[in-house]
Amino acid sequence: MLQEISFAKLSPTQNMTILVKSMHSEEEYAPIASRLMSYDNVFAEQVGFIKQATHPGAVAALNMAGGEFCGNACMALAALTAHQQTIHPSESTTIHLEASGTDQLINCLVQKTDEDDFFCKVMMPVPRNIEARTLKHEGNNYTAGLVQYSDFLHIILEVQQFTGSLKKLAENLARMLEITSSYPLIGVLLFKPDSNELLPLMYVPALDSLVWERGCGSGTASVGAYAAWKNRTLFEAPIQQPGGIIRVSASCEEHKISGVSISGNVSIVAEGKAYIHL
């Protein structure tokens, strides 16, 4: 059956994101997302579905295709909402969103910088637990941070170089963790602490989507939270990723993370109709 999909495509730090504006049942999310993300369709790294909010303080709700949480998609929806509100360059507004993968209301500060460009700052979910482990690979020991949230898990692997061998390790680790856990999102983050460079791998088991993302908001937040927890102090830094820079600020009190925010640029790439067979 041919379906018409109304969508917007946005670029938060080149983490190409499709937001579906037309209404669909949750059973259709995965097949719709798989088709939209494919090379012969709209093509992107992830898909979220815009729904009507149930919380009185939220303007919209964002459901990711795999039920996961995504910071960049929240920034994308906040920017799209601000665009629809027709704010002018240099003006700013605060957008409150519901989001899948967390029961926290997501607060987004949006400032318009150009015709279709926005600067966004998002208050992120706080990890419920952080641990440090040692991972052995090809005779080398790597420090690994386990950053656990209620609905997703990130593994931060501290490395000196981004090698093909380490990328393969990350892919195998993500798929292995699917077997031993029930998280809707598993991220393995190769991170160079000396230069604050990040190479993020995101795996959504429900979609069988394993993507080396060009920019990752939730991964950036986890890196900041892990660094603040490890050093027991405030951590603020620009985190360089293949698609550009996302800034993070994470505070730590009594060896617990008390707050995390990320900020970056979002541009609107396209809006229109897509046609897929289900």
CA-closest candidate to residue 58, choices 108, 123, 8, 118: 108
DSSP-assigned beta bridge partners for residue 184: none
Taking the CA atoms of 199, 225, 157 and 188 in sequence, report the sign of the dihedral they define: negative
Q: Residue 252 catalytic?
A: no
pTM given for the model = 0.93
The answer to whether the CB of 75 falls within 8 A of the CB of 218 is no
Measured CA to CA, the distance from residue 207 to residue 199 in angstroms comes to: 21
What domains appear along the chain, each with residue ranges and CATH number?
Answer: 2-123+265-277 (3.10.310.10), 129-263 (3.10.310.10)
What does each of the 278 residues of the chain score in pLDDT, given as a tens digit? 889 999 999 999 999 999 999 999 999 999 999 999 999 999 999 999 999 999 999 999 999 998 999 999 999 999 999 999 988 898 999 999 999 988 889 999 999 997 779 999 999 999 999 999 999 999 999 999 999 998 899 999 999 999 999 999 999 999 999 888 889 999 999 999 999 999 999 999 989 999 999 999 999 999 999 999 999 999 999 999 999 999 999 999 988 999 999 999 999 999 999 999 88
Catalytic residue among 108, 120, 216, 252: 216
User: Is there a catalytic annotation at residue 108?
Assistant: no
Question: What is the distance between the alpha carbons of residues 185 and 65, in angstroms, rounded to a whole number?
Answer: 11
The active-site residue, picked from 70, 74, 120, 252, is 70
- Classified as helix, coil or strand, 33 is helix
